[in-house]
Amino acid sequence: QVQLAESGGGSVQTGGSLRLSCTVNGYRDSISLLAWFRHAPGKKREGVAALVPDHESTYYSDSVKGRFTISHDNTKAAVYLQMNDLKPEDTATYYCAAGRYNRGDQLAEVLGRGDLTAWGQGTQVAVSS
């Protein structure tokens, strides 16, 4: 079993930056994919970034590409989301998630399905104009 816990959310102005962290505890050998999702009130949950640590493959949604960066530490004990040039539309609760990556999976599809096995409790990000 894997437990995830996010931190680093907060309030910033447009153009600001935040770095979200997520600690990964438990049976980390079962994890081969790490991801960040967000959910804003009145909107569908959106997968914004995914990472396969074993071969450093990454995927970003169009809404954050070029502004957000997903990374991890070498032991998969933590996953990060560096968020730059933040916009009011980035305001949401951000969740880290973890699961298994199967050879041939398209990361965009994995994010679209959102069927990862472990989820954190979320951290709030608010961007003011």
pLDDT (tens place) for every residue of the chain, 129 residues total: 899 999 999 999 999 999 999 999 987 888 899 999 999 999 999 999 999 988 889 999 999 999 999 999 877 689 999 999 999 999 999 999 999 998 888 999 999 999 899 999 999 999 999
- Please give the Cα distance from 102 to 100 (Å, whole number): 6
Q: What's residue 68's pLDDT? A: 98
- Please give the Cα distance from 71 to 80 (Å, whole number): 5
Q: Is 127 exposed, middle or buried (0-12, 13-18, 19+ CB in 10 A)?
A: buried
Q: What's residue 104's pLDDT? A: 86
Q: What's residue 30's pLDDT? A: 83
